[in-house]
Each structure stands twice: as structure tokens, then as C-alpha cells.
A and B are shown apart, each in its own frame.
Chain A
Amino acid sequence: MANRFLKGRAFKFGDNISTDLIIPGRFSHLRSSLPELAKHVLEDADPGFAARVKRGDFIVAGRNFGLGSSREHAPLVIKMSGVSAILAKSAARIFFRNAINQGLPVLICDTDKIDDRDELELDLTSGTITDLTSGVQLTSGKMPKVMLSILGEGGLIPYI
């Protein structure tokens, strides 16, 4: 069950982080062993990301996060790597839906205001993002109720 309040560090990424960068095709033989696939998550965008990220941390990206494939493994292995939410300027349509369906919150906000490794606190209900390092406060707007309910249940399947 996703908590209302999340706390962790920001791991910054640029624009157009594709599903091919999230789950590189050469590791697709690991799709039957997702914890192994999760060790390679975002490896081509930020080598060693999976080893550095700790439970609760955030991906903080630019525009169009998750463009590309409909493979749901992309948000799933991000979640398995310990990431508790994704913050981005915008997200690709299918990825956004898949992430919510996997119980992984995606918040749209002006991520330029957040620096790499800043400590962040998120309030999912109000959509407020507080950068504890800089003191900056951002908002992503209120999430629709159904989305919060799906996230609250940990994903679409348990929600149904």
C-alpha cells in the first residue's frame, strides 16, 4: 500500500528517458526473473543507478518520461529497484498509466527546481512536493480520486 507521505533522495534524469533505457532489450531474457532485470534498470541512462538507489528514493526527470513501449515491466522494475515515486515535467501516456496500475505514483511538476540528490518529501493526497534541501515547495495538483485509490491499493489488479 502506497503511503500518503513519501521521503527520499532525488536522482535526476534528462528528457525523453525511453523504455529502452529503463529496460534495455539485451536483458529481455530476464523478464522471467524480474529481480534480476531490476538490477539493470536505467543502466544505459545512469550506469550503477540500481546499486546507488535506496528504498524510498525518487526519479526526478525532464520531459516525456517513459516514451516508447507498452511493456509494463518498465514501471514494475523501477518500483522493484526501490523508487517510491517518479517526478517529471511530463510523462508518456502508456507509461503513466502503467505506473499507476503498478502502484507507482507519477507526479508532474517543474523538476528544474530540484537538484540531484536533494532530500524530498511528497504528500500524495495534496500533490505537494517539498525540497527539504533547498526549502522550495512545488505542486503537481491534486490527483483524481480513482488514481489515489488505485495507488492506495498498490495497483490496478489489487484495486479491482
Chain B
Amino acid sequence: MAEAFASPGDIIIGSDSHTTTAGALGAFATGMGSSDMAIALALGKTWFRVPESIKVKLSGSLPKGVCAKDLMVYLIGKIGADGATYKALEFTGEAAAKLTMSQRLTITNMAVEAGAKVGLFPSDEITQSYLKAQGRGDKYKPLHPDANAKYENAISINLSQLEPMVSMPHAVDNAVTVQEVKGTKVQQVFIGTCTNGRLEDLATAASILDGKKTHPDTRLIVAPASRQVLLAAIKANYIQSLIAAGAAIMPPGCAACLGLHQGVLGDGEVCLSTANRNFKGRMGNPEASIYLASPATAAATAITGEITDPREAM
């Protein structure tokens, strides 16, 4: 959707809770159920309540080994899994303006894990160059919050102070630093999906895994976010590096994230995943545990077979 459809200023509804991802392009994008979608398709109408906004002001820059995912695990840990229920999470500040589209997509994807209706980025030069690269440069229009915009609440985060984070089982807001859980044995590492399956994410994972081998007790599963990402990752040799290290590459899409197939966990198994949910039973087995982390932490963990701080593997 981000690649081919979403444009700044659009109103987008989708029957997937992670429709919020398109907010990275300055679109008001939100998830709904199938009845709501059916009525919207049939009548071209739906209803919204205008959500209150929470401003998330970002400063500083992400240190080496710290990813956009770490920011979201930190933020959701801080405000809770219902900390933004029904609200808009608006990301602003000089650091937000410097985040790449890939990072923005991870951030708005995770907005719904705080209960948000939408996660929004301004539409700026980065949006423009992304749309151009997708052959949709004509869809660009700059969009920024009004100078006098009213916010229900404001949260300031200095990215320079963040470190690699993990959501522990069985809740996304059960957030701790990687340092606090390092050494936890892991039987499966899952990199990819709509949260962290973009080219930059695969590049991060490939750079850590290149020339290395996954731990013999740990399976590594990689699911690119889209066919476009998969093709680009093949061209850039990331896929070759990942396969050589021991990864199994899944078709683009959800793969193991929601426990339907390809990577369903066994009883007592631990998975470190770059997806967005670690609820009990999420990956098909209520007797398994899921930790959420960044692609860098996931790649470092795949090598050692235990939760590992990526700053020690770079």
C-alpha cells in the first residue's frame, strides 16, 4: 500500500489493523473490520470521530545499533498498550524530519500497538523522494501540523539516549533494554513482515550476518515486506548473504507473524521476532514465548542463539 497507493493527505481505510503504516506518507490511514470495509466499498462512505492528537517530539539521532523499532518499543513501554487508544500519534521534531521512509513506516506500523487510530509523519522532502522513487512523484504535496495545532499531550524523546529494546512476552508494552534480557536462549529468529521487512531492515540484518553462520540451535526465518523489497534485496546481494548464513527466505508477507504457517513455534520455544505483536499464542502456540526487537538485535541473536546486543556484533 505504501509503495503503490498511499499519498499525502489521503484518507485510507483497510481491513488490517496495521493499515496505520501508510501514515508514514502523511496519509490518514486506519484499520477497520470487514463490515465497515464492505459498507465503505458499497456506499463510498464511512464515519470517523476526529481523534485527539498526541505529539511525539523527536530530537537527537539514533546511535549505531539502535533502530526505529527500538524507539517504538520504548515509547509503547512508556505509554502502555492502550496509551494512545483512539488517538492520533503525531511524530514531529528535527529528528523526525531526518528519519528515512523505511524508519517512518516501522514507526507508524507500530502506532496501533499503543492503541492509536493513526500514526502520522509530516509530508516533506523524504516523502517526496520516496514517491519519486516509486514513480508517483506527482502525488507529493507538503503537509505539516499547523503552528497553532492543539495537542492533548506531548512526549519528548531524545533518540541519542535510546538503546536496543525488547518487548518481553506476552505484551508489546512489556518493554526492557536488550541488556536486561541478554543471554536468553532463542530457538527461532524471525526477521521481516510489515513492521521490519523493508530493504533497509534486510540490509541491516545482512550486514551483521554476512560471512557468519546462524547458531546451530536457532532457526532464522526472513520474510520481506513486499515483492519489490525481495527483488531489490536479491539485486543488492542481501538475500544471498542471509541464505549463506543459514536463513530460510519466505514469500513476501506475514509469514510466521500470526501463527498460520511457516514458522509456527513448538511448546516451550522462544522466538525473537521483528514483527509487531507478541501476544500469547500469536505465532500459533500458547506454550511458546515471543520477544520483539529490531532487525539488528534479531541478526545478532541469530548468530549467538541467545538474545544479544547488536552493538556487540557490529
Q: Is A125 an interface residue (CB 8 A)?
A: no
A2 to chain B, nearest CB (A): 15
Give the chain A neighbours of B117 by CB distance below 8 A. 93
Give the chain B neighbours of A67 by CB distance below 8 A. 81-82, 115
Give the chain A neighbours of B36 by CB distance below 8 A. 97-98, 101, 156
Query: A24-B281, A24-B286 in contact; A156/B35 too (CB < 8 A)?
Result: yes
A87-101 near B? 1/0 per residue, CB < 8 Å: 000101110011001
Q: Which of A5-13, A49-57, A68-76, A126-134 contacts B (4 or more CB under 8 A)?
A: A68-76
- Give A28 to B17 CA distance when docked, in angstroms: 17
Within 8 A of A (CB), among B12-39: 14-17, 19, 31-36, 38-39
Inter-chain pairs besides A21-B280, A25-B283, 17 sampled, C-beta below 8 Å? A18-B277, A20-B277, A21-B279, A24-B281, A26-B285, A44-B281, A63-B82, A64-B81, A64-B85, A68-B279, A70-B17, A92-B115, A93-B85, A101-B33, A156-B35, A157-B35, A160-B39
Contacts from A to B (Cβ < 8 Å): 16, 18, 20-21, 24-26, 28, 44, 63-64, 67-72, 90, 92-94, 97-98, 101-102, 155-157, 160
Chain B interface residue number, banded: 35 or more
- Give A63 to B14 CA distance when docked, in angstroms: 25
Q: B82 is contacted by which of A71, A92, A102, A160 (Cβ under 8 Å)? A: A92
Are the C-beta atoms of B281 and A20 separated by less than 8 Å? yes
Q: B171 is contacted by which of A16, A25, A44 (Cβ under 8 Å)? A: A16
Give the chain A neighbours of B15 by CB distance below 8 A. 70
Are the C-beta atoms of B17 and A90 separated by less than 8 Å? no
- Some 9 contacts from A to B, beta carbons below 8 A apart, are A21-B279, A25-B258, A68-B279, A70-B32, A71-B33, A90-B82, A93-B115, A155-B35, A160-B39
Provide the main secondary structure of the chain B interface: loop
- Give A28 to B258 CA distance when docked, in angstroms: 10
Are the C-beta atoms of B281 and A26 separated by less than 8 Å? yes
Q: Is B55 an interface residue (CB 8 A)?
A: no
Contacts from B to A (Cβ < 8 Å): 14-17, 19, 31-36, 38-39, 42-43, 81-82, 85-86, 115, 117, 171, 258-260, 264, 277, 279-286
- Give A98 to B283 CA distance when docked, in angstroms: 23
Which of A67, A92, A156, A157 neighbours the largest number of chain B CB atoms within 10 Å of its CB?
A67
Give the chain A neighbours of B279 by CB distance below 8 A. 18, 20-21, 68
